[in-house]
Amino acid sequence: MKKTLTALAITAVLAGCSTTKSVNPDEPIRNQKLSTSFVSEGIKIETDCAWYKLGKSECDVTAIESTAVAWTNGATAVQVGEARKVARMEASANVAHFLNEKVTSNRVTTVMAKHIEKAKDSITSDKSEMSDKEAQKLNTVNRENANDTARTVTRNISANAEAMLKGFKTIKEEPVGQQEISVTIRWDLESDRAAAQLRKRFQ
pLDDT by 10s per residue, the chain, length 203: 444 444 444 344 444 444 444 444 444 444 444 444 544 458 999 888 877 666 666 888 899 999 999 989 888 889 999 999 999 999 999 999 999 999 999 999 988 887 777 666 555 555 556 566 665 565 555 667 777 788 888 999 999 999 999 999 999 999 988 889 999 999 999 999 999 999 888 88
Within a 10 A sphere around the Cβ of 72, how many other Cβ atoms?
Answer: 21
> CA 200 to CA 203: how far, in whole Å?
5
- Separation of alpha carbons 7 and 63, rounded Å: 55
8 A C-beta contact, residue 111 and residue 150: yes
Whole-prediction pTM value?
A: 0.59
The residue ranges of every structural domain in the chain are 24-100+162-203, 102-160
Among residues 173, 172, 170, 169, the alpha carbon closest in space to that of 194 is found at: 169
- The 10s digit of each residue's pLDDT in 62-101 is 999 999 999 898 888 899 999 999 999 999 999 999 999 9
